[in-house]
């Protein structure tokens, strides 16, 4: 029996993020890395660990505490959270160096495939009493040569006004604040939603413990996750952030970029509006 709870625990978020990651494995590209490359990468990673041990004169109690912590991250299913907060941005920067068009950033652990398809002018699924400032994001999807991409998919997911994601927090209904918006013939879209709150890494699990032990903070600035896909084009995985928002300059996941900050303006009716266009690179030029 589970009890009603207001907010998810780290174990809930972690276990759900682990399940989502495993479920996506069947559709993920196989890395197919040759042995020489595996050896080279693992050697470098281990050298980094060995160097840190020498540099900081690490003791046996510290080594054993590190082992206990690594086991706790696994037991709590927090590896997807940890990897996406502390490591993914470096991979994304590496991959982005060969991509033209709109800037990308990290996917994070809370993407879920196969969400409801919506028309080009739409409202993301939300609860009747969904809190948060009304937000309208409009824009156009284009090729990098400027031609509009009709029928492109703008796959949007974001946290609620308490910073929780549907599918990863038991009190939020499945599919809430998630949807795949299909652009019109001119590549345009207009999406009604609410402005999310900043997101806090669950503080009650091992990742939160490490952040606290290091004297860091667990926050990501408020953000919208967006993946834009169009046939024959390289998809873009990105996020949009809000001008002057808390934690914008100290994102724990180091995933903000100045090009990805929007500044929605109140249209006089309490609705905040912003325009953002996406430009995709043809697959053949990838």
Please report whether residue 109 would count as binding ligand DHB according to CB under 6 A.
yes
For residue 77, state whether it binds ligand DHB (rule: CB under 6 A).
no
H or E segment and range at residue 273: strand 272-275
Min separation Cβ 14 and ligand DHB, Å: 9
Residue 40 to residues 17, 36, 37, 44, 91: CA-CA distances in angstroms?
29, 6, 5, 6, 17
Give least dist CB 52 to Fe ion, A: 29
Q: Which residue is nearest to Fe ion (CB)?
A: 108
Window of 8-16, 107-115, 145-153, 204-212 that interacts with Fe ion by CB under 5 A = 107-115
Burial call 29-42: b when 16+ CB within 10 Å, e when fewer: eeeeeeeeeeeeee
Distance CA 40, CA 77 (A): 28
- The site partner of 164 among Fe ion, ligand DHB, none (C-beta below 5 to 8 Å per kind) is none
CA-nearest of 149, 151, 140, 200 to 180 is: 151
- Nearer Cβ to ligand DHB (102/120): 102
219-220 and 265-266 as β-strands: parallel, antiparallel, unpaired?
A: unpaired
Alpha-carbon span 195 to 264, nearest angstrom: 10
When asked if residue 81 is in the footprint of ligand DHB (CB under 6 A), the reply is: yes
Give the three-state DSSP class for 178.
strand
- What residue 109 binds from Fe ion, ligand DHB, none (CB within 5 to 8 A, per partner kind)? ligand DHB
108 counts as binding Fe ion under rule CB under 5 A: yes
Contact 180, 118 (CB under 8 A): yes
* CB burial of residue 163 (10 Å; 0-12, 13-18, 19+): middle
| Contacting residue, 8, 76, 104, 108, with ligand DHB by CB under 6 A | 108
CB of 87: closest distance to ligand DHB in angstroms? 10
* Contact flags string 180-219 toward ligand DHB, x per CB under 6 A: -------------------x-x------------------
- Contact residues toward ligand DHB (CB under 6 A) are 81, 84-85, 106, 108-110, 199, 201, 220, 253
Residues contributing to the site for Fe ion (CB under 5 A): 108
């Amino acid at each position: 029996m589970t009890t009603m709870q207001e907010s998810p625990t780290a174990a809930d978020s972690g276990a759900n993020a682990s399940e989502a990651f495993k479920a996506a494995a069947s559709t993920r590209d196989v890395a197919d890395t040759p042995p020489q490359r595996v050896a080279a990468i693992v050697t470098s990673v281990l050298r980094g660990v060995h160097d840190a041990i020498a540099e900081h004169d690490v003791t046996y109690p510290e080594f054993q505490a590190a082992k206990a912590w690594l086991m706790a991250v696994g037991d709590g299913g927090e590896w997807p959270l940890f990897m996406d907060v502390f490591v993914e941005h470096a991979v994304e920067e590496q991959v982005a160096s060969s991509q033209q068009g709109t800037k990308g950033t990290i996917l994070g652990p809370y993407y879920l495939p196969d969400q409801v398809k919506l028309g080009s002018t739409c409202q993301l699924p939300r609860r009747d009493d969904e809190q948060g400032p009304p937000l309208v994001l409009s824009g156009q999807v284009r090729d990098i040569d400027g031609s509009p991409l009709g029928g492109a998919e703008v796959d949007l997911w974001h946290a609620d006004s308490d910073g929780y994601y549907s599918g990863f927090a038991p009190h939020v209904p499945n599919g809430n604040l998630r949807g795949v918006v299909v652009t019109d013939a001119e590549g345009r879209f207009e999406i009604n939603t609410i402005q999310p709150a900043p997101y806090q890494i669950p503080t009650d699990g091992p990742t939160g413990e490490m952040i606290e032990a290091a004297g860091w903070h667990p926050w990501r600035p408020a953000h919208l996750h967006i993946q834009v896909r169009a046939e024959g084009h390289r998809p873009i995985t990105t996020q949009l952030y809000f001008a002057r928002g808390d934690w914008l300059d100290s994102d724990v996941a180091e995933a903000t970029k100045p090009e990805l900050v929007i500044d929605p303006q109140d249209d006089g009716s309490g609705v905040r509006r912003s325009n953002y266009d996406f430009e995709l690179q043809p697959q053949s030029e990838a």
